[in-house]
Amino acid sequence: MTEKRVERERYPVDDLAFVFALVAAPLVVALFGFWALIPLGAVFFGAPTYLTFGAYGFYVALRNRDATAGGVDRAGLIAHFVSLPFALAVLLAFDVVDMWRMFAGLGVFGAIFAPLWGWVFGLIYRGVRRSRFRPTSHVPTAA
């Protein structure tokens, strides 16, 4: 009754490309949306949760599947929703005026920018990762 556990394939993550894409993605979105001013504020308010929860979510997504922009943007949205209780705890700890309005703003704008930053992150990471980190075709070999 012993079952053999099948491990999923893990993909290597290019650390240099990961850090570059992590820093560049919100800046690229802010650069292209600077005329609206909202993306600039999103970089300021979203940076703490993006660099903690988002970075971890992106890393896990890249380890478990090849870098697709679609997979990374879902990881960004999930990380955003996971980070919301922690953001509320920080707002409570610092006794922020209009806390609930700020929390609602973080929730709404984060739900917009988290997947957008994740999608741009995926595009940038896929474009700048080094060739040894790109998946190769899996051709079965005869033993």
Q: Which residues contact 52 (CB under 8 A, 6 or more apart)?
A: 83
- Regarding predicted confidence, which is higher, 2 or 122? 122
Sorting pLDDT into bands at 50, 70 and 90, what band is 2? low
Sorting pLDDT into bands at 50, 70 and 90, what band is 26? very high
Mean of pLDDT values over 112-140: 80
Greatest Cα pair distance in the chain: 68
Task: Give, in order, the Cα–Cα distances in Å from 24 to each of 30, 122, 132.
Answer: 10, 11, 22
40-82 pLDDT tens trace: 888 888 889 999 999 999 999 988 876 676 778 899 999 999 9
pLDDT at 58: 93
Mean of pLDDT values over 129-141: 62
pLDDT at 139: 46
